[in-house]
Structure 1
Amino acid sequence: MITDRAEELLSRIALGEDSVLELKKVEFSGNRVSGPHRDGMADELAAMANTVSGVVVLGVDDRTREIEGIPLEKLDLLEDWIRSICNDSIDPPLDCVIRKVAIADGKGDEVAILRIDVPRSLFVHKSPNGYFRRIGSSKREMRPDVLARLFQQRSQARLIRFDEQVVPGTSLSDLEPDLWNRFRTALSPKEDRSFLEKMKMISEDEDGAPRATVGGLLMASKSPHIYMSSAFIQAVCYRGTSRGEARQLDAKDITGPLDVQIREGCKFVESNMKVFAIKAPNRIETPQFSMNAVFEAIVNAVAHRDYSIYGSKIRLHVFSDRLELFSPGSIPNTMTIESISERQSARNELISSLLARCPMNVDAPNSQRSFIMDKRGEGVPIIITESEALSGRRPEFALIDDSELKLTIFAAPSPHGDS
């Protein structure tokens, strides 16, 4: 990877393009970028992300290697243009670092260029003209067999599970010692890196650099959504029984390590549900939802969702008559909707094993848990049994478009006959 040192960047530019360096001359027509072509730029960025971590430099002629620079008054325009390409012309959108850099041209004068650091992605990106990879200093459209192999390598189906894959651009400093030290035991390696590697919270990338894994980031980072933008719970409470912005009573994006997301998700439901009270002759309180069932449902969603699906978050929606929980991904392995209460299967072994070592952090009445997960497959039966006993209706599981699992838990009716 090309470092931030100006001297190294200059020397690499002098040598010309290669697998990790792309140079582009930029031309303007008024307040519009006329060159390079927008679609061609998208193809170049996606090809690099599909292949290897690299750098694209705008403001350098790729044929003569002459540093021409970018007019200062056009820098913001060019940055917005690149950001728009990354978000709108590449699927899934590409996360990269865009920086304005001052550098010396061939005459020794200081000029401005735009440096784009493109990490090797967790995903396979499609650009306007297809799927590309980088070979040397050029891009090549991928043949079907190469594309299929790349999808397999970057999906959950590969030998290395998705939650054990490294997250590009991360480092050891992205993991918090107070979060990963809680998994230590007397038998754990004393040296930090050895311990993190053994726990599979870090691993080496193709260049030998230590990176946080997906599971490590989700369990030992205070802000995993910075690198995995969909790794959060979108919680919304609605007035009545239907959705609509005007009907929203409360809304919150719940971020943080997964055990915190579980705790805060339960708090959101508890603070927004009704608790009915009657005197018979002593006061009896009946909540709309069993918090033990809600806890198990959120744990299952967080532990078993498919984190390889870009742009899909967990959605927790509370209505006056029900709770709906949407979890990205199909049902793991050969399970079906009908067998979901009888079978056990873990999509994310690393995440599940780490949650099984996290002390219980939710006040869930009737729960016998000491740790957040037990890995014995008891969660779904608890959701069904306790919810049905409270509301009189069996919770419903549904698979939407084979890409999202929906759980509906029905609310207990008011003993007073109101809603």
Structure 2
Amino acid sequence: MAELLREQELEYLIAAPEGQTLEWKSPRIHPRDLATTLIAFANADGGRLLIGIEDDGTVSGLDLVADRQQVERLLRAAYEFCTPSVQIEYQFAPYRGHQVLVIDVPVSPRVHNHNNGRVYLRVLDRDQPLSADETLRVAFAKGQASYETQPVRGATLEDVDQDLIQEYARLRGFDQPAERLLRGLNLLVENTLTVAGALLFAREPGRWLPRAGVDFLKFEGTTIELGEAFNLVKRQELTAPLPRLIRRTWELVGTFVRTRRWLRGLEMTEQPEYPDFAWREVIVNATAHRDYSITGTAIQVRMFDDRLEVESPGGLPGIVTVENIRRRHFSRNPHIVGVLKAWHYIEELGFGVDRVFREMEAAGAPPPLITDDGGVVTVTLYAVRPTIPEQVDLNEQAVRWAEMGLNERQMKALIHIAQHGPISRKQYCELIGVSRMTAYRDLADLVKRDLLQVRGSGRYVHYVLAEKV
């Protein structure tokens, strides 16, 4: 049963724009038209209808006595115009002297059609009619989507991370025990966690769902080399409940996202090699929308000097294709997506991919490359290559460095780091053409002078410009 809405919560919903999971309706709407949105929500991510609100946002409300017959007709729409019937929950919420009919539609494991013969899917803020081919794709994806609702044998309430479930409750403003909360989210069936429940809240999801985490690989260069040229410099397997898995993956990848710096006179200009939103969103999408029925295969994040690749098990879901991905949306795992929204990992559904493209374009990077071979979806972000202005003047800075007693090797390295980002000892050797011992002495001297700072440890050590530079 949906939580009873307080007037303050309803006010927040009325102020929010209509979108993937929210729609306003006039109390005068015909039940046949209401059924279109009920079907579209049920076939997509579920949603909430507020009946008693005009298109301009004015709250006209319903009179529970005078409008009783209209209310009954609207509620019957879920089975009179929908095949099979759409499951709904409803309540009347007070708002400034009015009554608003609130109808909640859960995501359905089945495909519903209208008695006019059409099938509808919610896409952003529209109820989109589907072609016969698209309907078949949705029906197939619904079969995949049901995987997240299956119970996980042996995973019980005792396996739940209590701190994490209470964190979720605080974020949502709920005050109820974990068991009731999980049942309300359809993540606990009897005393058994569902696949979505185990992935989201079990202390050790990998105990039942192997390889449901992230494999991170960092390569030096732009290709994968083996043998003597082996260039894998970092590999780490990440496993955790999904809200923490996303956070830890962000933290790990963030340590390797370089910030390009170059000098404009004596002022430093900075630009990250990937827009922050873009790479974070790609990781969230892989985590939220991968096909978890494909066991034994983790999400793989591969970083090269010129690109970031995120590989996710399973093809694109539902009606989404490589060609329409910027304007189409379908959730393979709607229960997982719904919970992750509490942490704001997922904002308004359907806009993220398009924004990734726009952010990359604004940064001057090539558009993302998305491929789908039916079993794996790979998203490639290409690093931003900043255009260094011709009028950059390093003369004054070089004079100051020379007065400090720096040698030409060190000055060349500082300029290179300012323009291209961090450098390792091995890269210093190759750039300057010196031995490892000379590189060590030069770099150690620059650190001692507070011109460089050391990042990482062991074989992962690299050098960045100190803040004062």
Quote the residue 1:284 is aligned against.
Answer: 269
Kindly state the Cα deviation for residue 160 of structure 1 after the two structures are TM-superposed. Answer: 7.3
Distance 1:244 1:171, change over 3 A: farther
Quote the residue 1:372 is aligned against.
Answer: 345
Cα distance in 2 for partners of 1:298, 1:347 equals: 16
The answer to whether structure 1 residue 161 and structure 2 residue 146 are counterparts is yes
Which structure has the larger Rg? 2
Kept in 2, the 8 Å contact 1:303–1:348? The answer is: yes
Alignment of 1:19-58 (within 5 A): none
RMSD over equivalenced CA pairs, Å: 2.3
The answer to whether structure 1 residue 227 and structure 2 residue 208 are counterparts is yes
Alignment of 1:17-416 (within 5 A): 157-158=142-143, 161-184=146-169, 188=174, 190-204=176-190, 210-244=191-225, 246-281=230-265, 282-358=267-343, 371-400=344-373, 402-413=374-385, 415=388
Cα distance in 1 for partners of 2:355, 2:239 equals: 26
What residue identity is the alignment partner of 2:241? P
- Structure with the higher fraction of residues in helix conformation: 2
Distance 1:312 1:391, change over 3 A: farther
Cα distance in 2 for partners of 1:174, 1:166 equals: 14
Kept in 1, the 8 Å contact 2:219–2:303? The answer is: yes
Distance 1:159 1:411, change over 3 A: closer
Aligned residue for 1:168, secondary structure, equals strand
Aligned residue for 2:155, secondary structure, equals coil
Kept in 1, the 8 Å contact 2:212–2:295? The answer is: no
Cα distance in 1 for partners of 2:335, 2:308 equals: 28
Kindly state the Cα deviation for residue 196 of structure 1 after the two structures are TM-superposed. Answer: 1.6
Kindly state the Cα deviation for residue 355 of structure 1 after the two structures are TM-superposed. Answer: 0.2
Cα distance in 1 for partners of 2:362, 2:312 equals: 24
What residue identity is the alignment partner of 1:259? P
Distance 1:255 1:344, change over 3 A: same
What residue identity is the alignment partner of 1:247? N
Kindly state the Cα deviation for residue 273 of structure 1 after the two structures are TM-superposed. Answer: 2.7
Cα distance in 1 for partners of 2:383, 2:173 equals: 46
Q: Deviations over 1:322-346 (max 9, x none)?
A: 0000011111111110100111111
Quote the residue 1:44 is aligned against.
Answer: none
Kept in 2, the 8 Å contact 1:236–1:250? The answer is: yes
- Pairs aligned (count): 247
Cα distance in 2 for partners of 1:156, 1:169 equals: 27
Task: Give unpaired runs (5+ residues) of structure 1.
Answer: 1-154, 205-209, 359-370
State the identity as a percent: 27
Q: Deviations over 1:288-338 (max 9, x none)?
A: 111211111111110000001122210000000100000111111111101
Distance 1:183 1:273, change over 3 A: closer
Please, what TM-score do these two structures have when normalized by structure 1? 0.55
Cα distance in 2 for partners of 1:328, 1:220 equals: 21
